[in-house]
Amino acid sequence: MLEFSYNNGYQAGPKKSPFEDRMAKVRDTAILEPNGREARCSGPTLSRIFEQQIKMTRRAMRMCDARDLTFKVDDFVYLKVSPMRGIRRFNMKGKAAPRYIGPFKIVERKGEVAYKLELPPNLSGIHNVFHVSQLKKCLRVRKNKHPLEGPDVREDLTYTEHPVKILETSERVTRNRRVKMCECEWKHHTEDEATWEREEELRATYPGLFANHL
């Protein structure tokens, strides 16, 4: 789509698209609008339309998945929470960044795709009704459960994540400079989920991280 959009987009230099410059004609594409009428679109316009359609399709697929995933009262489920941190991104190596806490007991079903959970006192500030997409079935509940250990979760189901150890360092050479990189293990994630971060960003945000690192 990027290549198509570029080749069919207007360029300021030649005052035409690359396709028009090579083929001596304008390349457009016919699509059907929601009302069934045919419309002609250039590359950039078509890319925007496709992007909107993909978003609509993804929303519809999530709704279908939500209707297919159901729980019963007294079931135990895990709750998905997302890490937030001071530096600008959270690029997990391998699996996705969100993690699950719990398990928590379902005490009531709310509509078709939401459930009310029995939360412990340390999560009393969180609204206890969740969309099914935030939940995962707990297949086995321990009889003697320990008190909930995990991050301090906010009302928006996020928590503050921070690095606990530097596993390895390296340098990346770009055209104009050398960038020092650190492989970091994060508090609520394993070494397998470590990420590579710029040393300068880590020092600015977490200066204490380097105190014990040789």
Q: Where are the domains of the chain?
A: 2-68, 76-151, 163-210
pLDDT at 94: 41
Query: What are the strands, taking DSSP E only, across the chain?
Result: 29-32, 38-41, 76-84, 99-110, 114-118, 129-131, 135-137, 158-160, 163-173, 178-186, 195-198
pLDDT at 133: 87
pLDDT at 106: 95
What does pLDDT average to in each consecutive run of 10 residues of the chain (214 residues)? 67 70 56 55 65 76 65 92 65 56 92 91 89 88 59 81 89 84 85 85 87 64
Rama region for 212: left / alpha / beta (φ>0; ψ in -120 to 50; rest):
alpha
CA atoms in the 13 A half-sphere facing the CB of 149: 4
pLDDT at 170: 92
pLDDT at 169: 92
Query: What residues contact 24, with CB distance under 8 A and at least 6 apart?
Result: none
206 neighbors 162 (Cβ within 8 angstroms): yes
Residue 39 phi, psi dihedral angles, 5° rounding: -130, 150
The pairing of strands 163-173 and 29-32 is: unpaired
| CA atoms 163, 168, 174, 178: torsion sign | positive
Show the tokens assigned to 146.
Answer: 């320990």
83 neighbors 96 (Cβ within 8 angstroms): no
The pairing of strands 158-160 and 76-84 is: parallel
